[in-house]
Amino acid sequence: MSEKKSPVRVALVGAGHLGKHHARLLKALPDAELVGICDVDESKAREMAEQWGVPWSTRSEELPKEWGVEAVSLVVPTVFHEKLGLVYLEQGLDLLVEKPLTPSVVEGEKLCRLAKEKGLILQVGHVERYNPVLKAVREMGIEPRYIEGDRLAPFSFRSTDIGVVLDLMIHDIDILLSLVGRPVEDVEAFGMGIFTPAEDIATARLRFEGGAVARLTANRVALKPSRRMRMFSRDSYVSLDFGTSYGLIIQKAPGWDLQGLSMDVLQPENIQDLWKFVFEGLLTVKELSMDEGNPLQEELEDFVGSVRTRNQPMVDGPAGLEAVKVAEQVVQSLSEHEW
């Protein structure tokens, strides 16, 4: 299929909290044209559409033909992802679905299968993949063996149709799958609901083929938000703060040979500057402070670019499905270890 030269005509379905950010960024992208906003809540649809000077509709399953829609950004509660996603794919529209892809593996498989059959773009909105600190770690080729991830948020009264595993933890699950690059062999998880019928707090230990291990914690009833991850490999330690786009990487210096040092002769009290000896001699320290990026904007640019070139986005349907598969394992383990 030839590359599209004109702006991609994108309809936004979902005028909620996240939808307003999609609308603002889509309106500003030079390769995209926001052609309409749809939401079952007429007041929300009208208000957002008037703000950006585009038409609106409340009929999400029948987007107006006069809009000339080529692609859809779907930003609705997760329970509607399968139903609406299938509608748009059947209509031949490329689709960006906010994370998670679907509430269950079975539903996600339907979307992936239909997108493949029709040769359509299916992207999942795992926005952390576009975080600059994570991209830097990926480019350095670090292979983590042990990972700790903590994702905390105050209760927002949003995403109550799903538990904290699909709401928050799935971000870190997707990150792990992309960095480790191996299937999950074993999962053990514990958690409980506090404000909702589903789990609001969860902690999980995941073991991957090849031996890598991760410990993830997600909490959506915390006092303060926090999105942090630490990882250890055979030659490095990485600390990431996704909220501030800050990273710290400590690696063994070239020629590292601790066993080659004579510990009988080497006495710490005889080293005038022990910190300098360790961190400038035995180790290298690199700070990553990259707050100039906009991960959501890059996610939308990736989607629009994929629609134009027909190349797969960074997080395609199958990648989003893999994250749902692991999340489903975590939720299953939670049910087996009820507190």
Q: What is the mean pLDDT of the chain?
A: 90
Could you give the CA distance from residue 319 to residue 321 in angstroms, rounded to a whole number? 5
Task: For residue 193, count CB atoms less than 10 angstroms from its CB and return exposed for 0-12, middle for 13-18, buried for 19 or more.
Answer: middle
- The pTM for the full model equals 0.89
CB hemisphere CA count around 276 (13 angstroms): 3
CB hemisphere CA count around 138 (13 angstroms): 16
**What is the per-residue pLDDT across 49-81, written as a single tens digit (0 to 9) for each?**
999 999 999 999 999 999 999 999 999 999 999
Could you give the CA distance from residue 126 to residue 316 in angstroms, rounded to a whole number? 10
The CATH number, out of the four listed (1.10.150.120, 3.30.70.2660, 3.60.21.70, 3.40.50.720), of the domain defined by the range 8-126+295-311? 3.40.50.720
Task: For residue 254, count CB atoms less than 10 angstroms from its CB and return exposed for 0-12, middle for 13-18, buried for 19 or more.
Answer: exposed
Tokens matching residue 299 = 């996610």
Could you give the CA distance from residue 312 to residue 236 in angstroms, rounded to a whole number? 31
- What pLDDT does residue 259 have? 52
| Averaged pLDDT for residues 239-259 | 78
Structural domain spans, the chain: 8-126+295-311
CA angle (176 as vertex; 127, 73 as ends), nearest 5: 25
Given CA atoms 66, 297, 128, 120 in this order, what sign does their dihedral have?
positive
Tokens matching residue 268 = 């710490």
Residue in the structure block whose two tokens are 């979307």: 111
Banded model confidence at residue 265, pLDDT cuts 50, 70, 90: very low
Could you give the CA distance from residue 16 to residue 252 in angstroms, rounded to a whole number? 47
Tokens matching residue 254 = 């070239």
**What is the per-residue pLDDT across 91-136, written as a single tens digit (0 to 9) for each?**
999 999 999 999 999 999 999 999 999 999 999 999 999 988 888 8
| Averaged pLDDT for residues 288-314 | 91
Could you give the CA distance from residue 232 to residue 211 in angstroms, rounded to a whole number? 13
DSSP letters for 170-198? HHHHHHHHHHH-S-EEEEEEEEE-SSSSS
